[in-house]
Chains A and B, each alone.
Chain A
Amino acid sequence: MKFTLSWLKDHLTTNASLDEICDKLNMIGLEVEDVFDPSETYKDFTICEISSIKKHPDADKLKICTLNTINGIQDVVCGANNVKEGMKAVFAPEGSYIPGLSMILQATKIRGVKSSGMLLSERELSLSDEHDGILELDPKSHIGNNIYDQINKSDPVIEISITPNRSDALGVRGIARDLSAANIGKLKPLKATKIIGKYDIQKKIKINKDVESNIYASFRLIKNIKNCESPKWLKNRLEAIGLRPINALVDVTNYLTYDLNRPLHVFDYDKINEGLEIRKAKAGEKILALDDKEYNLSRSHTIFSDDNNPESIAGIIGGKRTGCNMDTVNVLVESAVWDKINIADTGRELNINSDARYRNERGIDSGFNNSGLDKAVEMIKEICGGEISNIKSVGKPLNRQEKINFNLDEVSRLLGVSFKKSDINQILKGLGFSLSEKNKKIEITVPSWRHDISENACIVEEIMRIKGTDNIKPIPLKKSVGVASKKINRAQKIRFNIKRILASRGMMETVSYSFISDKIAKLFYQVNDDLRLLNPISMELNVMRQLLMPSLLLSVKRNLDKGQKDISLFEVSNCYSGVNPEDQFEFASGVRLGKAISHGGNSDWRGNSRDYDSFDAKEDIIAILRSEGIDDSNYKITQDAPPILSSR
Chain B
Amino acid sequence: MSKFPDISNLRAKLLKEINDIKSLDQLDNIRVSALGKKGAITSLLKNISSQTIEVRKDFGEQVNALKRQITDEIEICKSALQQAEITKKISQDAIDVTLPLTNTNLENGKIHPISQVTEEIIEIFSDMGFNIAEGPDIEDEHHNFNSLNIPESHPARQMVDTFYLPGKDGNSRLLRTHTSPVQIRTMMREEPPIRIIAPGRTYRSDSDQTHTPMFHQVEGLVIDEDANMGQLKWCLEEFCKAFFEVENIKMRLRPSYFPFTEPSLEVDIACQKDKNRLIVGEGSDWLEVLGSGMVHPQVLRNVNLDPSKYKGFAFGLGIDRLAMLKYGMTDLRSFFDSDLRWLRHYGFRALDIPSLSRGLTE
Q: How would residues 552 to 586 of chain A score, 1 for a CB under 8 Å from any chain B CB and 0 otherwise?
A: 00010011001010011100001010111101100
Q: Is the CB of A475 within 8 A of B155?
A: no
Q: Is the CB of A29 within 8 A of B201?
A: no
Chain A residue nearest to B257 (CB atoms) is A163
A196 at the interface (CB under 8 A from B): no
Complex CA distance for A143 and B238, rounded to whole angstroms: 58
Q: How would residues 310 to 349 of chain B score, 1 for a CB under 8 Å from any chain A CB and 0 otherwise?
A: 0100000000000000000000000111111101100101
Chain A residue nearest to B233 (CB atoms) is A474
Contacting residue for B343 out of A416, A509, A574, A598, CB 8 A: A509
Chain A residue nearest to B294 (CB atoms) is A414
Query: What is the distance, in angstroms, from A181's C-beta to the closest C-beta of chain B?
Result: 13
B36 at the interface (CB under 8 A from A): no
B129 at the interface (CB under 8 A from A): yes
B136 at the interface (CB under 8 A from A): yes
Complex CA distance for A303 and B344, rounded to whole angstroms: 61
Query: What is the distance, in angstroms, from A529's C-beta to the closest C-beta of chain B?
Result: 7
Complex CA distance for A580 and B168, rounded to whole angstroms: 9
Q: Is the CB of A164 within 8 A of B155?
A: yes
Complex CA distance for A166 and B264, rounded to whole angstroms: 13
User: Which residues of B are found within 8 Å of A464, using beta-carbon distances?
Assistant: 229, 255, 263
Chain A residue nearest to B133 (CB atoms) is A489
Q: Is the CB of B111 within 8 A of A503?
A: yes
- B: contact size bracket: 35 or more
Q: How would residues 491 to 529 of chain A score, 1 for a CB under 8 Å from any chain B CB and 0 otherwise?
A: 010001001111111111111111100000000000001
B350 at the interface (CB under 8 A from A): yes
Q: Is the CB of A413 within 8 A of B132?
A: no
- The B interface is mostly helix, strand or loop, or mixed, namely mixed
Q: How would residues 197 to 225 of chain B score, 1 for a CB under 8 Å from any chain A CB and 0 otherwise?
A: 00001010111000011100000001000
User: Which residues of A are found within 8 Å of B307, using beta-carbon distances?
Assistant: 457
User: Which residues of B are found within 8 Å of A413, using beta-carbon distances?
Assistant: 228, 311
Query: What is the distance, in angstroms, from B270's C-beta to the closest C-beta of chain A?
Result: 13
Complex CA distance for A596 and B102, rounded to whole angstroms: 9
Chain B residue nearest to A363 (CB atoms) is B155
**Chain B residues numbered 11-29 whose CB sits less than 8 Å from any CB in chain A:** none
Q: Is the CB of B130 within 8 A of A487?
A: yes
Query: What is the distance, in angstroms, from B159's C-beta to the closest C-beta of chain A?
Result: 7
- Say yes or no: A514-B201 contact (C-beta < 8 A), given A472-B229, A474-B237, A492-B132: yes
Q: Is the CB of B138 within 8 A of A416?
A: no
Query: What is the distance, in angstroms, from A592's C-beta to the closest C-beta of chain B?
Result: 11
Chain B residue nearest to A534 (CB atoms) is B164
Complex CA distance for A569 and B297, rounded to whole angstroms: 46
B245 at the interface (CB under 8 A from A): no
A86 at the interface (CB under 8 A from B): no
User: Which residues of A are found within 8 Å of B166, using beta-carbon distances?
Assistant: 529-530, 532, 534
Complex CA distance for A164 and B259, rounded to whole angstroms: 9
- Stretch touching chain A among B56-64, B66-74, B120-128, B273-281: B120-128
Q: Is the CB of B340 within 8 A of A567?
A: yes
Q: Is the CB of B132 within 8 A of A597?
A: no
Q: Is the CB of A505 within 8 A of B105?
A: yes
**Chain B residues numbered 137-178 whose CB sits less than 8 Å from any CB in chain A:** 137-138, 153-156, 158-159, 163-168, 173, 175
Chain A residue nearest to B235 (CB atoms) is A477
**Chain A residues numbered 520-548 whose CB sits less than 8 Å from any CB in chain B:** 529-537, 541, 544
User: Which residues of B are found within 8 Å of A412, using beta-carbon distances?
Assistant: 228
B359 at the interface (CB under 8 A from A): no
Chain A residue nearest to B300 (CB atoms) is A457
Complex CA distance for A576 and B229, rounded to whole angstroms: 38
B231 at the interface (CB under 8 A from A): yes
Complex CA distance for A602 and B135, rounded to whole angstroms: 48
A276 at the interface (CB under 8 A from B): no
A480 at the interface (CB under 8 A from B): yes
Q: Is the CB of A507 within 8 A of B132?
A: no
**Chain A residues numbered 593-648 whose CB sits less than 8 Å from any CB in chain B:** 596-599, 604-605, 608
**Chain B residues numbered 282-315 whose CB sits less than 8 Å from any CB in chain A:** 294, 296-297, 307, 311
A279 at the interface (CB under 8 A from B): no
Contacting residue for B228 out of A414, A510, A529, A534, CB 8 A: A414
Chain B residue nearest to A569 (CB atoms) is B338
Q: Is the CB of B228 within 8 A of A415?
A: yes
- The A interface is mostly helix, strand or loop, or mixed, namely mixed
Contacting residue for B115 out of A417, A460, A509, A536, CB 8 A: A509
- Say yes or no: A511-B339 contact (C-beta < 8 A), given A477-B222, A487-B132: no
Complex CA distance for A341 and B151, rounded to whole angstroms: 10
Query: What is the distance, in angstroms, from A68's C-beta to the closest C-beta of chain B?
Result: 40
Chain B residue nearest to A559 (CB atoms) is B340
Contacting residue for B137 out of A465, A479, A574, CB 8 A: A574
Q: Is the CB of B257 within 8 A of A165?
A: yes
Contacting residue for A504 out of B126, B155, B351, CB 8 A: B351
Q: Is the CB of B129 within 8 A of A477?
A: yes
Q: How would residues 141 to 177 of chain A score, 1 for a CB under 8 Å from any chain B CB and 0 otherwise?
A: 0000000000000000000000111100000000000
Q: Is the CB of A604 within 8 A of B231?
A: no
User: Which residues of A are found within 8 Å of B135, using beta-carbon distances?
Assistant: 581
Q: How would residues 234 to 251 of chain A score, 1 for a CB under 8 Å from any chain B CB and 0 otherwise?
A: 000000000000000000
Complex CA distance for A413 and B214, rounded to whole angstroms: 37
Query: What is the distance, in angstroms, from B41's C-beta to the closest C-beta of chain A?
Result: 53
Contacting residue for B138 out of A165, A477, A529, A584, CB 8 A: A584
Complex CA distance for A493 and B42, rounded to whole angstroms: 79
Q: Is the CB of A533 within 8 A of B351?
A: no
5 A-B residue pairings within 8 Å (CB atoms): A29-B256, A164-B257, A461-B264, A477-B129, A541-B213
Instruction: Beyond A477-B129, A505-B105, A533-B165, list 12 extra A-B contacts (CB 8 Å).
Output: A29-B255, A165-B257, A477-B195, A500-B350, A508-B344, A509-B112, A544-B165, A558-B339, A579-B165, A581-B135, A584-B137, A605-B99
